[in-house]
Each structure stands twice: as structure tokens, then as C-alpha cells.
A and B are shown apart, each in its own frame.
Chain A
């Protein structure tokens, strides 16, 4: 009998040892004040067309970390930024995240660019209850029912699209042409623009182009035949140049409204011979920009952010690429308001507009989230229209010019 009891006791002890060995050392998010608050971020320097966006996102995150740490960190914990060198490759980002979770779970995760990365990591972050600040918006991370700890940072396509309506009204346009790419965001932009403009009573003709195409003559010819009063277009990188050169080639004199992706393209905001600024290709172009992309000496938070970012690295493109700065400040403000670094408590705090308004964010003055939507419901005047000009340090009219 005693021997049987001894065997059971030995078996129980062995099972306990095995089970404890199988568990991770993770304590579900360290909360000791002396441990750093770890934020993991998708990064890299070899991501093709999105390289500049990734690099700038990293610079902005580093500036955010420096700002928050200088102010005492996240509830007294110094912020540590952990780079995931995935080059916006979803498979690599997922592997790096899994490896880090196995080692030690990060407290938060940021995607600065690449909606494919967002889509890949979101379920894992949700499963492991990690706060997710996402600058590469996807619908899933805007839905708190699916991802209660995820928050989109960029303006929703609806806000961007709605921003055109006052411009159409002011200029008296009746028929609108839309030219958009075939990436996930570009398609959403195109479909939403068509629906919104039609609903507002405008005649609309929409044409899609292949983002990998090297010539846009066919698509522009289709649009020209429809004779719109204005063309709204979406393009980042070389396609923005193909569109503008194509319109000039056809001798088509039509007003052009480039969305925020066009204003983020250095080819459009640099003077010849490097870029096209000042060339006849841009004579009819007006750019849609976020308010923070236009230099304003009175915008203290934005100017502070630009100073912090330029002391660390270069801002490529416009301020649209710097949302990671705001992400860090929002995390700090949420933790302060919640009095905790518990992800659920921080997420709840972010749904309070007073918390986001007081976070000191730079790209948008506030991020109005709610319990129903984790997409910032930004006011229509968040975006404005400006003539193309040199963008230096992420801003038009920057004193760095």
C-alpha cells in the first residue's frame, strides 16, 4: 500500500515538474516598475516600395519612445522598442512575433506600414492579449468585437473621401473621374469614393490601374473619353509619376486631386531633376494632405514631434508616415489614465476621448475611438488641399526649406 502511495506521489511530482517545464516564463505582461515596457514593431530597411515608410515609421516610434521616456515612461516603466526586422513581410513578421512571445511576451505591438503584416499578426496579438496600435489600417483591427485590443491609427478611407466633397462644391465640379490602383487600400479608396460621390449627387466614372504597370496611357484615355471635370487619383511611388506623365502626354488639361498617397511620394514633392515638382506634369495638381503635413508655427505638439524625429533620423515622405510617434504617446496616456499597464484596461482608457485628446499627439490632435469602433472618427477638416511644394522634414512650408 505504502509502495503504491509512494509511486503515485513520485508520478505526481514528475507530472508537476514536466508541466511547469512546458509553461513559458511569461507572467502575462510584467508589471514590475523596474521592468521595461516592451513595444515590438514591424521594421526593416529592404521592403521595396514601402522601405521609406518603414524607416520613417521606425524613426517616429523612436522619437515617441524618447518623448515618453523623458516624461517618466509608461507608468514609471521605461519604454523599450524591439524591432522586428521583417521588411513588411507578413510571414517573417509572424515568425518574429511568435518567437518573441515564446521568449517574453511584448506589452504592445506597432505596425507602421504594410496592411498585409497587420492582417497576419492581428489574430496572434489578439490571442495573446497584446495591445496593437496599427498604422496600416485593416477593417478587422477597427472592430472591437473581433479585436478588442487593436486600434487603427490612420484616418479611415471614409474620412479621406469625405474630405473631397467641400472641394467639389467650392470648385463647382459636377462630373468626377476616379483613377485608383489595385492594392487593397487603393481598391477600398476607389470603391468608397465612387459610392460616396454618387450618393452626394455627382456623376462618377472610376477606372482602376494595375499598380505594377509601367504605362497608364490606356487608363487615362478611358477617363478622358468620359470627360470628367476633375480627376481624383490615388498612387504611391512610380505609378504617381506614370499617371502625371501620361496625362501630360495626352495633352489633357484637367484639374487633378491627388490623395494622401500621392502627397507622400517624394517624386511629387522634390524639384527636378530628382523629382517632378515645378514641371508641367504637376501644373494642374492639388494635393490632399493632413493638417500636420502643412507647417504651422502654432502647432506645438507637431513641431515638438518633428524636432524629436529629425534629431533621430530622416522623415521620408509626409507626416502621414509618422503615426507610430502618436501610437507611443497614446499608449503612455492610456496607461496613465488606467493606472495600469493591463492591456484591457489601457484599451478601455483609449476609448475615452479625454484620454486621447490629452495625449499630446502630433499627426492628429486627437484619436476619437469608441467602444463600438477602434477607427479614429476624425473630423472632416482633418485633411486639407494644398498646391504641390517641397516637403522637407515631412512638411510643406517647413522652416527647414
Chain B
């Protein structure tokens, strides 16, 4: 059971990255390759709030969310909006992520920093398995976030507008939807959530400048397994990656850990090229 918890909590980290990728993908059909770095900034801000400023947990969460939202807004203005096509945005967001990594290293240094968690510090036993409270928090957060985003996209007018944009942005404009404003809002919300995610991820991974690059690839694999555009898919994909990684490391050896993850990815893409929960769209030619 301990190994399952470890896999799920690690998978939740990847799923949170995938959620960030998906929000931007659904809203603007582009990938934000700086998403993992935004979460890394969230972890560092959480560290500063907790350790340097000694703020209460709720204020630290709010601070991390606001700071990363502002960073994400700058990202949209600097690296996304001036670029016309989505392919180029892959490069510009990747570049912005590299800048964020460098800035984090300049501000917080290159060594890992221990981010305290507001819950119990000791590991607990749950259904015969051992896990930390922040690991449980990560699993719960990823599930709750996906459920909330799903409901938002189905029940709220702005959520429906985002879904409409993802299906046909020209038609959405004709229906009076402000596409540019909503795309900007998607980035800002991604930042807001990345700040929240950083607060939960930091206690597990430490706040460290290399965190972004460590998360970016596995988050993308989670998304590819689950299906681009599907929030439940990203969640399941993240859990699959985490569980496969842990079980392969345990029973086959750590050298088979990444190998097994990419084998699963290839298998999924061979059987379902759109991912487990991805939808094929019909096109009239």
C-alpha cells in the first residue's frame, strides 16, 4: 500500500502539471511549456512566505497564487500574445521557462530548500500503508481540482465559452466571445493554480531550481497518456505514470523506471492515438 501511495502522490504531481498544460491547451490550442517552472516559482514563493517572512499558511497560499498569477500574466503578454502561431509559442514558452529557472537560481540559489507543510510533519499509517500528510494533500488536491474544473467548464458561462473557443475560435468570436481576453484569463488562472500547486508540491520535492525541468517532461507524458484537452485524462495519466514509475523501480530496478513509463506511453498511443480520454474531432474537408 505504501508503494501505491507513493505512486499516487508522485502521479498527482505530474497530474497537476498536466492540468496546467490542459487549461491553456483548451483555451488557446497552444502548449505552455513554462507551466512546470510556474509551479517551481510557486514552491519558492511558498518557501519565502513560510520561512523568510513567517506568514500563516493561508496567507502563504494567497501570496504564492498571486505572485505566480502575475508571472503567468507576464508570460502571456511577453511570450504568447506577440507570437502568431502555436508552434512558435512552444519555443517562446520554453524560453520563458528557462528564464524563470535562471531567475529562481539567482534569487533562491541552486540548493534545495525545505518547504514546510501546514499539516502534520510526521508520516501516518492509512489502510496499512505509510505516507506523509502533504502526499495525501497532493492526491486530494489533484482530484478536487479536476472535478472543479470539469464542473466549471460544464456549468459556468465563461467555462462554456472556453470550451467553445477550443472547438472553433472563429465561431466563438462570431458568438460574441472575447477570445483574447479569455485566453489571457486562462494563463492567469493557470498561474493562480500553479501557485497553489507549488505550495503543495514544495514539501514533497523541496523548492529547487531544477524542479521545472524534472516535472515538465513527465507532466507532458501524463497529458499524452490521458489525452490532450481532457482533465480527467491528465489526472489518470499522471497517476499511471507515477504508479508505473514506482512499481518498475521497486520490482525491476530504477533503470527500468523511465523505460516502463515510455513503454506505456507508446502502447497507449498505438492503441488510442488521442490518449485514453482524448476525443477525435471530425473535420469536413
Does A237 contact B6, Cβ atoms closer than 8 Å? no
Flag if B2 contacts A215 (CB, 8 Å). Answer: no
- Residues facing B in A22-52 (CB within 8 A) are 46-52
Contact B253 A208 (CB under 8 A): yes
Partner-binding segment picked from A129-137, A273-281, A304-312, A374-382 = A273-281
Query: CB distance B10 to A214 under 8 Å?
Result: yes
Complex formed: what's the CA distance from A212 to B245 in Å? 12
Of A50, A212, A217, A238, most buried by chain B (CB within 10 Å of CB) is: A217
Name B1-42 residues within 8 Å CB distance of A.
2-3, 6, 9-10, 13
For B109, list chain A residues within 8 Å (CB): 51-52
Partner of A210, one of B6, B116, B208, B257: B257
Q: A48-B210, A51-B105 are in contact. Are A217 and B6 (CB under 8 A)?
A: yes
Which chain B residue lies CB-closest to A214? B205
A272 touches B111 (CB 8 A): no
Residues on B with C-beta less than 8 A from A250 are: 2, 123, 130
When the two chains form their complex, are residues A212 and B254 in contact, meaning their CB atoms are under 8 A apart? no
**A237 and B247 alpha carbons, distance in the complex (Å):** 24
Q: In the complex, given contacts A215-B204, A218-B249, A273-B114, what are 11 additional A-B residue pairs having Cβ atoms less than 8 angstroms apart?
A: A50-B110, A210-B249, A210-B257, A210-B258, A214-B205, A217-B6, A217-B246, A218-B257, A221-B2, A249-B132, A280-B122
Q: Does B255 lie within 8 Å of A46, measured CB to CB? A: no
B85-125 CB mask vs A (1 if < 8 Å, else 0) is 00000000000000000100100011111101000001100
In the assembled complex, B250 has its CB within 8 A of some CB on chain A: yes
By the criterion CB–CB under 8 Å, are A215 and B111 in contact? no
Q: State the interface size on chain B (CB cutoff 8 A).
A: 39
Any B CB within 8 A of the CB of A182: yes
Q: 1/0 contact trace for A50-67 toward B, CB 8 Å?
A: 111000000000000000
A143 CA to B203 CA, complexed, in Å: 45
Residues of A within 8 A of B208 (CB): 237-238
The CA of A273 and the CA of B123, in the complex, are separated in Å by 18
Chain A contacts of B116 at CB under 8 A? Answer: 272-273
Which residues of A are found within 8 Å of B255, using beta-carbon distances? 182, 208, 210
A159-210 residues at the B interface, CB under 8 angstroms: 182, 207-210
Contact A267 B3 (CB under 8 A): no
A–B Cβ pairs within 8 angstroms, 14 of them: A46-B105, A48-B210, A51-B109, A208-B254, A210-B249, A213-B249, A215-B9, A215-B204, A238-B112, A238-B208, A238-B210, A241-B114, A241-B206, A273-B51
A400 within 8 Å of B (CB atoms): no
B186 close to A (CB within 8 Å): no
Which residues A238-264 have CB closer than 8 A to chain B? 238, 241, 245, 248-251
- Known A182-B255, A208-B255, A218-B246; contact A249-B111, beta-carbon cutoff 8 A: no
Q: Give the shortest distance, in Å, between B214 (CB) and chain A (any CB).
A: 6
Distance A51 CA – B101 CA, assembled complex (angstroms): 13
Query: From residue 3 to 29 of chain A, which have CB atoms closer than 8 A to chain B?
Result: none
User: Contact: B114 with A214, CB < 8 Å?
Assistant: no
Please state if A182 and B254 are interface contacts (CB–CB under 8 Å): yes
**Is A266 close to B, CB under 8 A?**
yes
Q: Which 3 A-B pairs have the closest CB atoms?
A: A217-B6, A218-B249, A218-B250
Contact B10 A210 (CB under 8 A): no
**B110 pairs with A48, CB closer than 8 A:** yes
B139 CB to nearest chain A CB (Å): 13
With A212-B214, A218-B250, A249-B130 in contact, is A267–B10 under 8 Å at CB?
no
In the complex, chain A residues whose CB is within 8 Å of the CB of B192? none
Q: A218, B205: Cβ atoms under 8 Å?
A: no
CA distance A50 to B209 in the complex (A): 12
Q: Which residue of A lies closest to B206 (CB)?
A: A238
Using C-beta atoms within 8 Å of the partner chain, give the interface range for chain A. 35 or more
Q: How many A-B residue pairs have CB under 8 A?
A: 107
Contact A218 B6 (CB under 8 A): yes
Residues of chain A contacted by B245 (CB below 8 angstroms): 213, 215
Distance in angstroms between the alpha carbons of A217 and B258 in the assembled complex: 16
Check A218–B210 contact: CB distance below 8 A. Answer: no
Whether the pair A237, B214 counts as a contact (CB closer than 8 A) is no
Most chain A beta-carbon contacts within 10 A, residue among B208, B249, B258: B249
Residues of chain B within 8 A (CB-CB) of A245 are: 132
CA distance A173 to B40 in the complex (A): 41
Closest A residue to B125 by beta carbon equals A251
- A272 B114 Cβ-Cβ under 8 A: yes
Query: With the chains together, A126 CA to B2 CA distance in Å?
Result: 52
CB distance from B111 to the nearest CB of A (A): 5
How far is it, in angstroms, between the C-alpha of A217 and the C-alpha of B249 when the chains are bound? 9
A222 within 8 A of B: yes
A219: interface (CB < 8 Å): yes
**Chain B residue at minimal CB-CB distance from A217:** B6
Q: What residue in chain B is nearest A238 (Cβ atoms)? A: B112
- Chain A residues with Cβ below 8 Å from B111 are 52, 237, 265-267, 316
Per-residue interface assignment for chain B, residues 231 to 255, with 1 indicating a CB less than 8 Å from any chain A CB and 0 otherwise: 0000000000000011101100111
Give the distance to chain A from B132, nearest Cβ to Cβ, in Å: 6
Residues on B with C-beta less than 8 A from A238 are: 112, 205-206, 208, 210
Given the contacts A208-B253, A219-B249, A251-B123, A267 and B130 also touching, CB distance less than 8 Å: no
Closest-CB distance, A209 to chain B (whole angstroms):
5
A215 touches B257 (CB 8 A): no
Instruction: Kindly list chain A residues whose C-beta atoms are within 8 Å of the C-beta of B246.
Output: 215, 217-218
Distance in Å: Cβ of A262 to nearest Cβ of chain B: 13
Q: How far is the CB of B221 from chain A (nearest CB, A)?
A: 14
Residue of B nearest to A181 (CB): B254
Q: Is the CB of A221 within 8 A of B3?
A: yes
